[in-house]
């Protein structure tokens, strides 16, 4: 093997050493550079970067940040996070119940909103946490006016909304009169959110072109907190939460 070519399964985060401490390239069973082989199995040593990533994901998993609530994975009607915390930046005409998120998510959103403001963008929450009963009333109203088939494309049935986890929020801006619209992505605020949410641990939960996986239409306003490590990887790889969890967890 010459130059900078590596095997397809090469992983720069893994270092393989023989028991005598000499470096062995991954997957390489040829003699060492000194022309000799010690004939012993290599010892796999994870790099600091690999270990810290694994530990970060384990920590976020233990905190419940990867809870998956969708059409196939409902949450109990009585579920309510114990650490719901008020969000600083929210639409003033929305009910108080929806102005809270889990503590870590609320603090992260406050930082996101403040960072957006420094760039001249107003991004605030319209609704975050929703109880089972709140979602039930909302969904039933949508069914009444749109019919069940259409309602199911953009509204979660009670118990199947991740708003109930306290980790999701709908956000908007004055430029669209605080409405939830697909046109949000065409605004400076929507573009900034799409490109920067991951830096604060959030993902666009229902991305464009992934409707067959998420079960919902594209929602550029709906963000979900998963922690910075997972959010960055989901953003860079263009994945949905479902795809990421199947791949990593």
Active site residues: 219
**Token digits for 198?**
């991951």
Taking the CA atoms of 198, 201, 206 and 212 in sequence, report the sign of the dihedral they define.
positive
Distance CA(162)–CA(141), nearest Å, equals 19
Q: What is the DSSP track for 206-227?
A: E-TT-HHHHSS--EEEEEEE--
* DSSP H helix total and E strand total for the chain: 8, 9
Q: 197-212 as b/e, with b when 16 or more CB fall inside 10 Å? A: bbebbbbbbbbeebee
């Amino acid at each position: 093997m010459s130059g900078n070519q590596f095997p397809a399964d090469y992983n720069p985060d893994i270092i393989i050493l023989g028991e005598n401490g000499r470096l062995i390239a991954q997957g390489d069973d040829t003699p060492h550079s000194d022309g000799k082989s010690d004939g012993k199995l290599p010892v796999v040593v994870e790099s600091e970067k690999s270990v810290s990533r694994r530990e970060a994901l384990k920590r976020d998993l233990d905190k419940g940040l990867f809870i998956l609530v969708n059409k196939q994975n409902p949450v109990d009607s009585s579920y309510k996070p114990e650490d719901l915390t008020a969000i600083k930046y929210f639409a003033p005409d929305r009910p108080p119940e929806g102005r809270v998120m889990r503590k870590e998510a609320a603090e992260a959103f406050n930082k996101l909103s403040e960072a957006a403001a420094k760039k001249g963008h107003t991004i605030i929450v319209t609704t975050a946490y929703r109880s089972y009963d709140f979602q039930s009333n909302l969904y039933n109203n949508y069914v009444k006016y749109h019919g069940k088939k259409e309602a199911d494309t953009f509204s979660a049935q009670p118990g199947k909304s991740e708003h109930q986890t306290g980790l999701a929020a709908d956000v908007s801006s004055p430029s669209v009169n605080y409405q939830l619209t697909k046109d949000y992505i065409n605004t400076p605020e929507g573009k900034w959110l799409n490109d920067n949410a991951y830096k604060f641990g959030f993902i666009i939960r229902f991305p464009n072109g992934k409707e067959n996986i998420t079960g919902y239409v594209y929602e550029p306003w709906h963000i979900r907190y998963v922690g910075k490590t997972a959010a960055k990887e989901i953003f860079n790889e263009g994945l949905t939460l479902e795809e990421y969890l199947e791949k990593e967890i």
